[in-house]
Every structure is written in C-alpha cells, then in structure tokens.
C-alpha cells in the first residue's frame, strides 16, 4: 500500500474510514501531541478513545470531560495569552473532535479535525518558543495514518 504524502490524500483517506476507525486514528494523532497538555484528564480520555471496546456511556463521558477540559484551558477573551497553555487547549480540542459523532462534526470527519487541532497544538508550542522551523506535525500524521492503514 502506498504512503500518504499530502493533505488531499490524507483528508480523503480519513473520510473513508468508518466512525470507530476515525476515533482510533484520531487517538493516535492526539497521543503524538499528548506531552503538550498538562491536563491529566486528556491521557485518560485518549485511552477511552483508543479503546475499540469502549461503551457508548464511556465515550460520552469522555466527550463531556474533553469539552470541560477545552473550556478550562481556553484563553479568555481579554486575558493574557500563553501559547504554551494554548497548546493544551488544542490537544483538548483534538480530544473533543475524536469523540464527536460524525453527524455532529461540521467538517464530516472527526479524525481530520483531530488532526488539525493536534497540528495547532504543535504550532502553539512553536509560537511560544518563537521557532517555526522545526517540526512538521503533518508529515508525522501522514506516517501515523499510513502505518495504520498498512497494518
């Protein structure tokens, strides 16, 4: 099977996955940026998301927790922005996306949204460090997805 090399392929491949597969792959994207969040709840949420056998109740509880984590970590309108903390916000956003059912997801693909938010988490760290050159989260994500599809 071929490797994914750009966003068009990436987005399409994600869209083609069924809902639970989207959730699993989203969990992997988030795991990759998990260190950027200081909220302990996220690790547990990601575990639930990555669990194939997770019950509907467990998933909806996890989603609620993710939403709470997102609100807790967002930068209030008018307060002093901290990009390091904002990375945590985007990790929570990714978690919310991963657990949101397809029909409620505005872009139609929860995994794509989780991927985007994960990238933003990385970008936030780069902004904080004032260094845009280093990582390339999208390519890491292509690899994660390719590995998943090939397995």
Partner 1 sequence: MSASFEKGYNALKEQVDAADASFFSSCVHCGMCAEACLFFTETGAPERTPINKTEPLRRVWKQEYTLLGRIGKIFGLGKKVTDEMLQQWETLVYDSCTLCGRCSMVCPVGNDIAGMIRKTREGMAAAGHAPAGLIGATKRAVTIGSPMGVKLPALQAQIAHVEKDTGMTIPVDVKGADYMLLLSSMEIMNFPEFIEAVAKIFKHASVSWTISSEAFEATNSGIQIGVSDIAAELVQRVVDAAAKLKVKNVISPECGHAYMAIRWDGPNLIGKAYDFKVVHILELLDDLRQQGRLKVSRRLSQRLTYHDPCQISRRGGVIDEPRNLINMFADNFTEMPDTGKMNWCCGAGGGVSSNERADEIRLQVFQRKKDQLDAIHVDGMISACSNCRIHLEDGLEEYHMDMPVLSLTETLAQNLEDH
- Chain residues binding partner 1 by CB under 8 A are 7, 60, 64, 67-68, 70-71, 74-81, 83, 86, 89, 100, 103-108, 116, 119-120, 123, 126-127, 130, 132, 138
Q: How far is the CB of 60 from partner 1 (least distance, A)?
A: 8
Q: How far is the CB of 96 from partner 1 (least distance, A)?
A: 9
* Closer of 52 and 55 to partner 1 (Cβ): 55
- Contacts by 92-95, CB closer than 8 A, 24 or more apart: 92/37, 92/39, 92/42, 92/66, 93/117, 93/120, 94/26, 94/29, 94/30, 94/33, 94/118, 94/121, 95/30, 95/42, 95/45, 95/46, 95/49, 95/62, 95/66, 95/69, 95/70
Q: How far is the CB of 109 from partner 1 (least distance, A)?
A: 10
* Closer of 70 and 146 to partner 1 (Cβ): 70
* Closer of 1 and 132 to partner 1 (Cβ): 132
- CA–CA separation, 136 vs 116, rounded Å? 12
* Closer of 79 and 150 to partner 1 (Cβ): 79
Q: How far is the CB of 151 from partner 1 (least distance, A)?
A: 26
Estimate the crossing angle of helix 40-50 against helix 83-99, to 10 degrees.
Answer: 30
């Amino acid at each position: 099977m071929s490797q994914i090399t750009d966003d068009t392929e990436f987005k399409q491949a994600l869209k083609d996955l069924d809902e639970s597969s989207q959730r699993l792959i989203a969990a992997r994207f988030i795991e990759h940026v998990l260190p950027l969040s200081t909220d302990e709840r996220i690790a547990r949420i990601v575990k639930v998301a990555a669990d194939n056998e997770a019950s509907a109740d467990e998933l909806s509880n996890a989603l609620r927790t993710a939403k709470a984590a997102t609100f807790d970590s967002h930068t209030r309108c008018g307060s002093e922005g901290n990009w390091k903390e904002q990375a945590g916000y985007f990790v929570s956003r990714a978690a919310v996306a991963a657990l949101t059912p397809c029909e409620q997801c505005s872009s139609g693909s929860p995994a794509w949204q989780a991927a985007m938010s994960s990238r933003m988490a990385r970008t936030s760290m780069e902004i904080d460090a004032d260094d845009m050159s280093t990582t390339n989260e999208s390519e890491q994500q292509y690899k994660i997805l390719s590995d998943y599809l090939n397995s």
